[in-house]
């Protein structure tokens, strides 16, 4: 049930009825909805330790797609196995439930981000979220972290155009909040970035960190 996937590859597709869940071991993934006219909305980014389609355990048909961003290693676990596991260890069932609830909390934050912040704050907020989540699983390097997300995908995640994402990131850099390298970001001014994005990590519900 182990697989290595190339970048930009769908793991599950909208309307599918999957019989297994996906656990990300290494790499990056994202969930998205494709709309008419080539438009696309990215719903979330996923990092190692996440189970992005855990909801398929109880929702038969997918209402969105899941794809890799970079080359990734994933474990595919049959629903039956998961269910048996939960029956054997009820505590784990609650952990999984909680995990999907955090998922929902992140979506709520995204609704807010896209609905009520302008470009500058939106991107700042997203960069904050990724930093905190990556740090929680030990994937940051001081103030720097890997960001293998092209601007086109940042655009689809924030509901903006690529062009505008580009210009806005230039602003963020110009204001000394971040620095970008190849496929990574350095946070130069955490407080500034936090304020710009009105970022409050409550919605991530970090405690001890499951998984």
Partner DNA sequence: CGAGGCCTTGAACGTCGTCAAGTGGAGTGG
Partner DNA sequence: CCACTCCACTTGACGACGTTCAAGGCCTCG
State the residues that interact with a second copy by CB under 8 A: 15, 31, 33, 35-36, 39-41, 43, 55, 58-61, 63-64, 93-94, 97-98, 100-105, 107-112, 114-117, 156, 158-159, 198, 202-203, 205
With beta carbons less than 8 A apart as the criterion, state whether 61 and 123 touch.
no
* CA 36 to chain CA centroid, nearest Å: 23
* Binding segment toward DNA, per CB under 7 A, in 24-32, 91-99, 157-165, 196-204: 157-165
Q: Tell me if residue 111 falls in helix, strand or coil.
A: helix
* Residue 59's binding partner out of DNA, a second copy, none, with CB under 5 to 8 Å set by partner kind: a second copy
Q: Binding DNA by CB under 7 A: which of 163, 195, 200, 210?
A: 163
Rounded Cα–Cα distance for residues 201 and 44 (Å): 16
**Residue 118 makes contact with DNA by CB under 7 A:** yes
Contact 12, 61 (CB under 8 A): no
Task: Tell me the β-bridge partners of 145.
Answer: 185
**Residue 169 contact among DNA, a second copy, none, beta carbon within 5 to 8 Å by kind:** DNA
Q: Which is nearer to a second copy, 15 or 170 (CB)?
A: 15
Q: Output phi, psi for 173, to 5 deg.
A: -70, -45
């Amino acid at each position: 049930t182990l697989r290595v996937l190339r970048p930009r590859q769908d793991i599950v597709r909208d309307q599918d009825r999957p019989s297994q869940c996906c656990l990300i071991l290494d790499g990056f993934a994202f969930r998205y909805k494709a709309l008419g006219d080539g438009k696309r909305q990215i719903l979330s980014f996923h990092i190692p330790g996440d189970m992005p389609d855990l909801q398929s355990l109880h929702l038969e048909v997918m209402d969105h797609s899941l794809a890799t961003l970079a080359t990734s290693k994933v474990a595919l676990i049959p629903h039956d196995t998961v269910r048996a596991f939960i029956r054997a260890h009820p505590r784990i069932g609650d952990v999984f439930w909680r995990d999907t609830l955090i998922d929902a909390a992140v979506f709520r934050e995204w609704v807010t981000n896209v609905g009520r912040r302008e470009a500058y704050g939106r991107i700042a907020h997203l960069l904050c979220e990724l930093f905190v989540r990556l740090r929680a699983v030990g994937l940051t390097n001081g103030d720097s972290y890997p960001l293998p997300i092209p601007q086109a995908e940042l655009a689809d995640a924030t509901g903006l155009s690529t062009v505008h994402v580009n210009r806005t990131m230039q602003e963020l850099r110009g204001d000394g909040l971040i620095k970008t390298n190849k496929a990574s970001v350095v946070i130069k001014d955490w407080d500034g970035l936090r304020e710009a994005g009105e970022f409050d990590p409550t919605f991530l519900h970090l405690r001890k960190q499951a998984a």
